[in-house]
Amino acid sequence: MNTKRLPTMDAIRILLASLVLYSHCYPLLLGSDNFEPLYILTEGQLTFGGLAVDAFFILSGYLIAQSWVRDPGFSFFKKRAIRIYPGFVVAVLVGVVLVAPLSTNLPTHTNVWSLVVHLLNLQGYDPHNAFSGNHFRTLNGSLWSIRYEFLCYIGVALLGLTGLLKRRSVLTSIWGGSWVLSVACGALGKTPTLGPLEPLIGYLPFWVRLLPYYLSGVMLWAWESELPDFSGFEILFLVWCLLIGCLTPGFGVAFMFPVALPVILHWLSRQSVIGAKWITESGDISYGVYLYGFLVQQLVVRWVPGLTVWTFLVLSLPITILLGAASWKYVERPILGWRRSGRGQ
């Protein structure tokens, strides 16, 4: 089982974060996803933003399985917390302290205790009246996935502690069960709920969607040494399978994407792409781009009239990239450097 970072993976993650911004242009500007191209193509099964989040979970599963193997135990959790919490906390505080007052002409109100609880739980916080005049009265709607990401870290740790992470046949069975459940829920058009357990472990429909992708990333890591060298033609065939999934109503995306998309991403991550190194020269800014994109777009919608989808993207993307780079340079990288220097031990 390999432990390595593939050459273009960081560039892919930055592009995925940018794809989330593009996808959000439609609901934030027009009020719904109904005009989003992938939403139309898949008859409501998926948006480009949803595709990007699913791909993030695949790549995360691949990387986090490696992280556990390199450094299991308490050190694993410390590293994951240091990587996730500082950037998240600063982004939420920037939203609450700086953006919320600019988001409305009405007075905003923040319950400090509630804010602290939301921060600890890796949940976004919406001050009263924030963006009251926008289509979505949400300060930072992208933050919902961060908590699920961290819970997946805990899941990988449980697999590692029980020894199941090293048993590829068991991993395959667990992934297969999550995949079958996701397809079945898509075919039936409904997902059961967890009732009172949801505040603790999350919204079940989100898990039904995300878990097959995350586990497919873990599977990529576990079976990587057995993967063949796929040709470009074979990858095009898998892309064709994705298209078939898009055109199959109800369950096509749930059926095809967790199977084909991980292989395509792994293949792309291994390619030497011109410009990939230039994209990542500023560091790993993908997390910051994801954290700040929704905030920036909500402000642009509020303050700039007469936007089209593309002018909206052209205005919001450069600002978000600058904020993502600032998050990496002034928050994330210094904290990581502090840990690696030994002062965080």
Within a domain: 3: no
Is residue 119 situated within a structural domain?
yes
- Asked if residue 200 is part of any domain, the answer here is yes
Instruction: Give a yes or no: residue 141 inside a domain.
Output: yes
Give residue-wise pLDDT tens across range 290-315.
999 999 999 999 999 999 999 999 99
The angle at the Cα of 42, spanning 37 to 46, to the nearest 5 degrees, equals 80
Local structure of residue 42 (DSSP, 8 states): T
CA angle centred on 60, ends 290 and 328, rounded to 5°: 40
Quick one: tokens of 94?
């920037």
Q: Is position 4 within any domain?
A: no
Strands (E), 114-244: none
Domain interval for residue 117: 9-340
37 assigned to some structural domain: yes
Q: Which pTM does this prediction carry?
A: 0.93
Smallest CA-to-CA distance from 252 within 46, 36, 37 is with 46
Taking alpha carbons only, the member of 301, 307, 326 closest to residue 130 is 301
Q: How many domains would you assign to the chain? A: 1
Cα four-point dihedral sign 140, 252, 208, 187: positive
Question: How far does Cα 95 stand from its chain's mean position?
Answer: 19
Q: Could you give the CA distance from residue 114 to residue 46 in angstroms, rounded to a whole number?
A: 32
Q: Is residue 223 situated within a structural domain? A: yes
Within a domain: residue 345?
Answer: no
Q: Where are the alpha helices (DSSP H) in 42-143?
A: 48-70, 74-93, 100-102, 112-120
Q: Are 126 and 139 in contact (CB under 8 A)?
A: yes
Taking only the tens place, the pLDDT of each residue in 4-35 is: 556 688 889 999 999 999 999 999 999 999 99
pLDDT per position as a tens digit, 213-266:
999 999 999 999 888 889 999 999 999 999 999 999 999 999 999 999 999 999
